């Protein structure tokens, strides 16, 4: 039998539906792969002990003729920021070590309802704060392309698991690029949906006006299939949109078949096409633009003058919201409790617990957020950052008058070395310069692998952004671009080094 771990979720779903492969076989193949390579990659914080049992139930349901979805029996990995009833959910923090939530996140419940088989929980920067997964309390995840390099972050675990063929696809979350930047540096596809397009109920909150849950995969179609499963209105999330969404898998299938991009206007954002980016990244980006133009798309240059303020606004808004969200870790209802020697008041216990339970990046951002929200500074920082947000939304609105999608490299560089930036927070923050604007404006963004950088042979990503609610447009154009790029480079993950 072919190696089941090399198949896309769509391919695997087809074999399962036709009865050529059982869910138990598909799941066992991925568990074996995890066993073989995860000692090196460290994509998983927890591997599900009930995965084969879950798969067996799907096989029995299929044998009994029960109606099943097209992904039933396909394994999936889940970022540890999402609550799971049957697995610990730590968000990469000591604060929640071993904590098993009393409910499933809506996205997880929808995976289960669709018959997907959770393989385990993936590593991440603590509470999703970081761009390298080095801020996980449980040690870094390594990039399958080069084990000495970072897999991006915060969702480095989900991206690495998919890139290393430990899972066909995975769930991630994206607050400032945590799905798209790991996608870029691992050669995988990732989508940050429109704000409110996917439920956040049961997603441990980082910054509530920015967070979105989304798919991580090896193909645009697989991302669309997973998005179709997890998306749509959830009354348990008050920011969830009530829109009726089209099928994103259908949009991807349509895009993959399109023989022309005539009439499509592709806007290159001048401020996100910086001469400061790594030359090999820029070269691949401009090559991809030529492919799009060759397929008939009109390439236009657009300007977004306020994007240069996006990183600054983000690093005010995010810490402010995070400092408030993380106040819930009070050592009373769940998680760690550390009592100072000789005891203490509840306040002293809380302070000792938070000192012991949070890592350096989390403390840094809580303190920064507390500063930005404190009396006398609120207007200067938080108030100003919210105004920048308006200006960025206006930039997007005017750019989308000239273009159907906006594009840029998904990350300014390829994967950097583990340890290279971990002690320099400002340098780390600049990794998200291309991805942050979409979060501030609530619009959808996608990364598609665009080949390897010439100077280091590492993956690069092409980012597409669409107006809010137009996620389907990303899938359609993204799938066409993917086909054009694969015709040029082949599937780039086929060129990743062997592991294990």
Partner 1 sequence: MSEITTETVQHLAGLARIALDEAEIETLTGQLGAIVDSVAKVREVATPDVPATSHPIPLSNVQREDVPGATLTTAEALAGAPEHDGTRFIVSAILGEEQ
Residues 461-480 that bind partner 1 (CB under 8 A): 468
When the beta carbons of 101 and 231 are compared against partner 1, the nearer one is 101
Query: Is residue 192 annotated as a catalytic residue, yes or no?
Result: no
Interface segment toward partner 1; rule CB under 8 A; list 121-129, 153-161, 263-271, 333-341: 333-341
Binding flag, residue 345, partner 1 (CB under 8 A): yes
Number of amino acids touching partner 1 (CB under 8 A): 74
Alpha carbon distance 445, 469 (integer Å): 11
When the beta carbons of 56 and 88 are compared against partner 1, the nearer one is 88
Instruction: Assess contact for 176 and 450: CB atoms under 8 A.
Output: no
Which of 487, 464, 149 shows the shortest CA–CA distance to 285? 464
End-to-end CA distance of the chain: 20
Which of 153, 171, 223 shows the shortest CA–CA distance to 411? 153
Binding flag, residue 355, partner 1 (CB under 8 A): yes
Query: Is residue 154 annotated as a catalytic residue, yes or no?
Result: yes
Query: Is residue 208 annotated as a catalytic residue, yes or no?
Result: no
Binding flag, residue 409, partner 1 (CB under 8 A): no
For partner 1, the binding residue among 151, 172, 214, 335 (CB under 8 A) is 335
The residues with which 216 forms a beta bridge, in sequence order, are 170, 190
Binding flag, residue 138, partner 1 (CB under 8 A): no
Q: How far is the CB of 329 from partner 1 (least distance, A)?
A: 9
Alpha carbon distance 226, 248 (integer Å): 9
For partner 1, the binding residue among 306, 421, 476, 483 (CB under 8 A) is 306
For partner 1, the binding residue among 8, 199, 282, 323 (CB under 8 A) is 323
Alpha carbon distance 110, 203 (integer Å): 13
When the beta carbons of 36 and 430 are compared against partner 1, the nearer one is 430
Interface segment toward partner 1; rule CB under 8 A; list 161-169, 184-192, 362-370, 399-407: 362-370
Locate 210 and state its tokens.
């920015």
Alpha carbon distance 261, 447 (integer Å): 19
When the beta carbons of 18 and 333 are compared against partner 1, the nearer one is 333
Strand order in the sheet with 169-174: 44-47, 117-122, 75-79, 169-174, 212-217, 189-192, 445-452, 459-465, 405-409, 265-269, 298-302
From the candidates 132, 154, 331, 410, give the one annotated as an active-site residue. 154
Binding flag, residue 164, partner 1 (CB under 8 A): no
Locate 246 and state its tokens.
């089209």
When the beta carbons of 377 and 420 are compared against partner 1, the nearer one is 377
């Amino acid at each position: 039998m072919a190696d089941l771990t090399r198949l896309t979720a769509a391919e695997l779903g087809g074999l399962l539906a036709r009865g050529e492969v059982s869910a138990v076989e598909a799941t066992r193949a991925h568990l074996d792969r995890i066993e073989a390579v995860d000692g090196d990659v460290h994509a998983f914080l927890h591997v599900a002990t009930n995965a084969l049992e879950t798969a067996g139930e799907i096989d029995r349901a299929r044998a009994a003729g029960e109606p099943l979805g097209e992904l039933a029996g396909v394994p999936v990995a889940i970022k540890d920021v999402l609550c799971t009833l049957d697995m610990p959910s730590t968000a990469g923090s000591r604060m929640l070590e071993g904590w098993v939530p009393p409910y499933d996140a809506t996205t997880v419940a929808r995976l289960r309802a669709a018959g997907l088989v959770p393989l385990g929980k993936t590593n991440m920067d603590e509470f999703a704060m970081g761009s390298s997964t080095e801020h996980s309390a449980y040690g870094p995840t390594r990039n399958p392309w080069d084990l000495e390099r970072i897999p991006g972050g915060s969702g480095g675990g989900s991206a690495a698991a998919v890139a290393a063929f430990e899972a066909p696809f995975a769930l991630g979350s994206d607050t400032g690029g945590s799905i798209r930047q790991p996608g870029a540096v691992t050669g995988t596809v990732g989508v940050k949906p429109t704000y409110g397009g996917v439920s956040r109920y049961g997603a441990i909150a980082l910054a509530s006006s920015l967070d979105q849950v989304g798919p991580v995969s090896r193909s645009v179609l697989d991302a669309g299939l997973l998005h179709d499963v997890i998306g749509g209105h959830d009354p348990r999330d008050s920011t969830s949109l009530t829109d009726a969404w089209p099928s994103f898998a259908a949009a991807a299938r349509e895009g993959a078949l399109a023989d022309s991009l005539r009439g499509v206007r592709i806007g290159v954002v001048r401020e996100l096409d910086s001469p400061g980016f790594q030359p090999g990244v820029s070269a691949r980006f401009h090559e991809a633009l030529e492919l799009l133009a060759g397929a008939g798309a009109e390439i236009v240059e657009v300007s977004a003058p306020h994007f240069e303020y996006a990183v600054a606004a983000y690093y005010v808004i995010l810490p402010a919201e995070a400092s408030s969200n993380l106040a819930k870790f009070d050592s009373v209802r769940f998680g760690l409790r550390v009592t100072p020697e000789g005891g203490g008041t509840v306040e002293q216990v809380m302070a000792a617990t938070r000192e012991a339970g949070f890592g350096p990046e989390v403390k840094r951002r809580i303190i920064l957020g507390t500063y930005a929200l404190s009396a006398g500074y609120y207007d200067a920082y938080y108030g100003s950052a919210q105004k920048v947000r308006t200006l960025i939304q206006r930039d997007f609105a005017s750019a989308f008058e000239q273009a159907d999608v906006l594009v840029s490299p998904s990350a300014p560089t390829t994967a950097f070395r583990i340890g290279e930036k971990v002690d320099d927070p400002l340098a780390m923050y600049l990794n998200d310069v291309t991805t942050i604007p979409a979060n501030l404006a609530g619009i959808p963004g996608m990364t598609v692998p665009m080949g390897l950088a010439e100077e280091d042979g590492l993956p690069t990503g092409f980012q597409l952004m669409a107006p809010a609610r137009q996620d389907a447009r990303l899938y359609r154009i993204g799938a066409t671009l993917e086909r054009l790029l694969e015709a040029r480079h082949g599937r780039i993950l086929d060129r990743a080094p062997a592991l294990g």
